Structure 1
Amino acid sequence: MNNLITKITLSTLITSITALATITSASAFSFSLTGTFEETYGGTISGTFELYEPTLSGDDYQCSNIDITTTAGSEIFAGSNYTDSSDNAFLSSCSADGFAMSLYDEASGNEFFLDLQSESSLVDLAPSETAQINPATTYEQYFDGFGDPTTRYIASGTVTAAVPFEFSPTLGLLLVGGAWGINRLRKSRNKIE
């Protein structure tokens, strides 16, 4: 009886760790991005975000966990942090190619707008694969409340798909240690019988 329980426990442990190592969501994609703005205004852009495919036909893509930072390049663009957890940020669109988001700066009363678009569909990227950021359609705008907005376009940049899950050496050691421990427990119980 103890032998059967040990085998079931070991089988359950191996199945659980195997399932944990292969967990991926078919509809969720994580990305990191990095790039530089054109020389006229300068600055850089970097950060991370997640994109979710529609669950029903006709639904829109969903973006979340957005944390994008632009750095200063000129006096006009002092640098901003676009995050969907901020009360002052508003996500205006999300697609398979990117998203658009506005940010209100309470201190200055100014508004910033970021439109991030890749040259290809992000959801088609394999883990660790990159897509070029589209310089013609990726830009940050600054609104001071007077006249037309000032726009700085991206000069170059990439969006990289994250690896959904890697089986780490630590998990491997835990698996081997767990199997060894269960084997030792089984042998000690056999000696007692």
Structure 2
Amino acid sequence: MDTARRWGIGLTAVAVLLWLVFVIAVVTTAPEDGANIGAGLLFLLAIPCTVAGATLLITTRRGGHLPVSGQQDPALSPAGAMAVPATSAGTWSNQAALWALVVGIVGVVLVLTPIGATEVAYWTGVAAAVVICLVAVVLGWLGLRRARARGGVRWHLALAGVVLGATGLGWNLFRIPELILFVIGDL
């Protein structure tokens, strides 16, 4: 089992646990007891874990190797799945892909979590979330390029980082009307 598949299973397990606690908190506790606040925080953590875990599991479904153009896929070779590229482990690392996933999760959590008690602090948090999501997309794109050049190593992580970053940027599109009202002073 490759690293991306392990990450996907781990994130999906965390997401399932968060969703389970969320449902239990909402069903068993009255709103006036404060369960909605804690459940809301669990909800904000469960969404990026679900998106990242699902993306990793879906992309690792077919194996885990994206062959370099012109190179035969080892799984399709006569030796089957036992074929392993003869190279050192250091040349197969793709840290940009791993960081894309981590930064993408942080970006989506920041997009979903309003930070600050004042309007300026709120919009500073929104700007920080947008920048972090852009960094996740750029790191994911760089990770995908490196994966293609290095035989598909960690391309799943890079793709998950791009998906999470793009999701965070997409959710920020809903804040544009609110930003316009804030800038012109009607909010």
TM-score, normalised to structure 1, is: 0.27
Structure ranking higher in strand proportion = 1
| Larger radius of gyration between Structure 1 and Structure 2 | 1
Q: Which has the higher contact order (CA 8 A, sep 6+)?
A: 2
Higher helix content, 1 or 2: 2
